[in-house]
Amino acid sequence: MKIRSVLISQPKPETEKSPYYDVAKTHKVSLEFKPFIQVVGVTAAELRKQKVDFTEYACVIMTSKSSVDHYFRLAQEMRFVIPEGIKYFCASETIALYMQKYVVYRKRKIFHGTNGVEELVDYFKKNKNEKFLFPCSDKHSDKITDFLTKSKISFTKASFYKTVATDMLGFSLLDFDMIVFFSPNGVESLTTNYPDFKQGNTHIGTFGEGTALAAESAGLTVQLKAPMPKSPSMAMALDFYLKQVNGKSGK
């Protein structure tokens, strides 16, 4: 069965130049963007219960835009003036550049990897006598904490935001030939909102090993697993998959 409609379980791209639109045009498929999860920030009171004192940390680990947003939000709410000397360790250049929303980039000590903070191991070790703060979601993998523990880095993990399922009431999945997931939390949202969901002929795409495992654990058959060697992004992987299923022109 050819794919004519794809549900992307993420917010709609902010720019019309998104590669997803090129994929839709090339393969003559309709794309709909609908996030299956949403991020809700914790309150200052909730953070205090985790015994987080901003003044104790000279280094901060940023693994997502959400961690950046909620770190600066809570610092402001708790009336903590962030010193210019704080060092930021970002999982990617995209996250590092996003910090310009809050700081003057050239005046800050910002380090970034290309595919995870694990690539910054040398920088971590140079600052091994400092205390690190790891703002994260209430639901996250242990990959980073395991890495920090193994590297003998002194750190505090704290939930600065929560990942919750979006209320999908009234939203039907029957109109889509394919659904694409980007996190285990997205898969969990599917099972929460649609406990009677039957995959049938629906194609399933996942991004990341953890997402694929979550989908398979939920009883889904995953036809597209990204990233792939020549398709590092989901848009590229989707383009490749549609060529296989629909043909090069989508006709």
Q: Mind listing the pLDDT tens digit for each residue in 85-127?
A: 999 999 998 899 999 999 886 666 999 988 788 899 999 999 9
Q: Quick one: how many helices (H) and strands (E) in the chain?
A: 9, 11
Q: What is the 3-class SS of 102-150, one letter each residue? A: CCCHHHCEEEECCCCHHHHHHHHHHCCCCCEEEEEECCCCCHHHHHHHH
What confidence score (pLDDT) does residue 249 get? 54
DSSP state of 93: H
The residues facing 137 across adjacent strands are 161
Q: What is the pTM of this model?
A: 0.74
Using a 10 angstrom Cβ sphere, with 0-12 exposed, 13-18 middle and 19 or more buried, the burial of residue 82 is middle
pLDDT under 70: residue ranges of the chain? 105-108, 248-251
Which CA distances in Å does 35 have to 72, 135, 185, 234?
Answer: 24, 22, 11, 15
pLDDT of residue 191: 95
> Domains along the chain?
5-36+166-246 (3.40.50.10090), 40-163 (3.40.50.10090)
With a CB cutoff of 8 Å and minimum separation 6, the contacts of 153 are 124, 128, 132
The CA-based dihedral angle spanning residues 183, 188, 191, 197, taken in that order and rounded to the nearest 10 degrees: 10
Q: How far apart are CA 212 and CA 226, in angstroms?
A: 9
pLDDT of residue 239: 96
Do 176 and 32 meet the contact criterion of CB atoms below 8 Å apart?
Answer: yes
Max Cα distance, the chain (Å): 61
- At residue 198, the pLDDT reads 96
State CA 23 to chain mean position distance.
21
**Do residues 231 and 207 touch, judged by C-beta distance below 8 A?**
no
Q: Which residues contact 232 (CB under 8 A, 6 or more apart)?
A: none
DSSP state of 235: H
Residue 15 is predicted with a pLDDT of: 84
Contacts of 247 (CB under 8 A, 6+ apart): none
In this predicted structure, what is the pLDDT of residue 107?
62
